[in-house]
Structure 1
Amino acid sequence: MRKSILNYLVLVLIICVLIVGSFTSNKTITENDFSENDLAFNTVETTETSSESDHYLPLEKAYKPFSPTLGKSFVGFKEALGFKESRGDYFTVNTFGYLGKYQFGKETLKLIGIYNPVHFLKNPEMQEKAFLANAERNKWILRKDIKRFNGKTINGVLITESGILAAAHLAGPGNVKKYLRSYGEQGFTDAYGTSIEYYIKKFSGYDTSKVKSNRKAKVKLTA
């Protein structure tokens, strides 16, 4: 009798084990089954039309990359001007012999202390220093005109300090003086058809306060 009861209990136990095992293997794994540290995927919001497989995406696809904007900062100013001049290419020479990212002429380089254009073309750091030195020199030459015309309009174009400095980079400060003091009657267009007025408008409103007026601005060459 005892043997029959024992056999019965063993049979019941086996059946229970089989039932529990079957339930566990069919259980649906949900997001709550993982801790924050164990999650291998990142959840994203889905729409009603998204499929179930879209619920989980690899980490590198779940977030859009952050790209800072330069806006109207001084860095934004020089990068926008460099892109317009050469698409930001430090090592280019155009058909008229203008050099580098900011397309400097050899005579302009001499004015700011650079006499080796080959070395200049190979040196991005020197080109950045040259841009600032040239802007400082132009700002000193045009200091009275900046004070007089900043905020005014000529031919429907708002005049700003950054626009004046950009135009001076294109045409030289002397030509910008003539343009401003003639209220746009004496213009200038470079060999590619780009005008002072176009640069004043395109590069309007940037913060160029970092550019200090400096009559003797030079690039300090390192040994």
Structure 2
Amino acid sequence: MFKKISNYFAIPLAICSVVFMALKPSPSLDVAMYSTEGMELDFTVQKEEPSKATEVHLSNPFQTQHTYFPYLGKSYHGFKEALAFKESRGDYFTVNTLGYLGKYQFGAETLKLIGIYNPQKFLYTPELQEKAFLANAERNKWILRRDIKRFDGKYINGVLVTESGILAAAHLAGPGSVKKFLRSYGSQNFSDAYGSTVKHYMKKFSGYDTSSIKANKRAKAIL
């Protein structure tokens, strides 16, 4: 009988003990007991920069989506992508109102000079367009090699003349128009049908590293 009575008291007592320990306030933390003395605390955490990618969505059914990066610095890739963005917003498959083709807006006659005789194939072959851009730049660099050496680093009508500016202007207007601009010290400034001028391209595309473009009189675009 005594054992049964004791069981009635033991169970509630155990429950009360558990509740008391759970609710018992813990002693406050004494921060004076802790110190960072002697610890290496010189940490550098790299801050992530927001993405600078600009997506260009094109409507041609044969084209896949491309993402272009306008912030490629002053490298050769920065040069050609900046020029492509100016010409066509980077669209490989566009044809403008004057019939100029592709990402870099080539005319049919210029394509023939670098060995391309099928404009339709050219328009739908991005790899060939990239080769055409380089071949045309190499050919223009050979034609303008003496003018680059003579005028690079000089100012004409307030514009600093650089090799990349000369090559960009030659892409717009042809090397002959660039020669006229340089040798007339800016008085002969070619303007295309949309109002773009040799001087504007000379300034806009100044200072890129185009040293990887080799002067080549017989440059061709071949897949």
Using structure 2 for the length normalisation, give the TM-score.
0.76
How many residues are treated as equivalent by the alignment?
A: 183
For 1:143 and 1:152, how far apart are their aligned partners in 2?
15
Q: Distance in 1 between matches of 2:197 and 2:204?
A: 11
**Residue type of the alignment partner of 1:146:** I
Does 1:127 pair with 2:129?
Answer: yes
Within 5 Å, which residues of 2 pair with 1:43-82? 65-67=50-52, 69-82=71-84
Structure 1 residues 1-223: aligned runs within 5 Å: 1-18=2-19, 65-67=50-52, 69-221=71-223
Q: Secondary structure at the match of 1:139?
A: helix
C-alpha separation in 2, matches of 1:15 and 1:143: 97
Counterpart-to-counterpart distance in 2, 1:81 and 1:155: 22
Structure 1 residue 6, shift from structure 2 partner: 3.6
Shift of 1:2: 4.7
Q: Kindly report the root-mean-square deviation, in angstroms, between the aligned alpha carbons of the 2 structures.
A: 2.1
Check 1:126–1:22 CA distance in 2 against 1; reply closer, same or farther (3 A cut). Answer: farther
> After superposition, what is the alpha-carbon deviation per residue over 1:45-80, rounded to whole angstroms, capped at 9, x for unaligned?
xxxxxxxxxxxxxxxxxx665447301111111011
Q: Report deviation, 1:19.
A: 5.7
Name the aligned partner's letter for residue 16 of structure 2.
Answer: I
Q: What is the deviation of 1:15?
A: 2.7
Q: Percent identity?
A: 68
Shift of 1:185: 1.2
Q: Structure 1 residues 12 and 74, CA, compared in 2 at 3 Å: closer, same or farther?
A: same
Deviations 1:69-117 (A, max 9, x none): 3011111110110010011111111111100010000000000000000
Cα distance between partner residues in 1 of 2:116 and 2:151: 32
1:8 Cα deviation after fit? 2.0
Aligned equivalents of 2:169, 2:182: Cα separation in 1 = 11
> What residue number does 2:36 align with?
none
CA distance in 2, matches of 1:64, 1:4: 73
Q: Please state whether the residue corresponding to 1:210 is helix, strand or coil.
A: coil
Q: Give, in whole Å, the separation in 2 of the partners of 1:109 and 1:20.
A: 88
Higher helix share: 1
Give 2:39's aligned residue: none
Q: Aligned-pair distance for 1:7?
A: 2.7
Deviation at 1:194, TM superposition (A): 0.7
Aligned to 2:61: none
Q: Which amino acid aligns with 2:183?
A: R
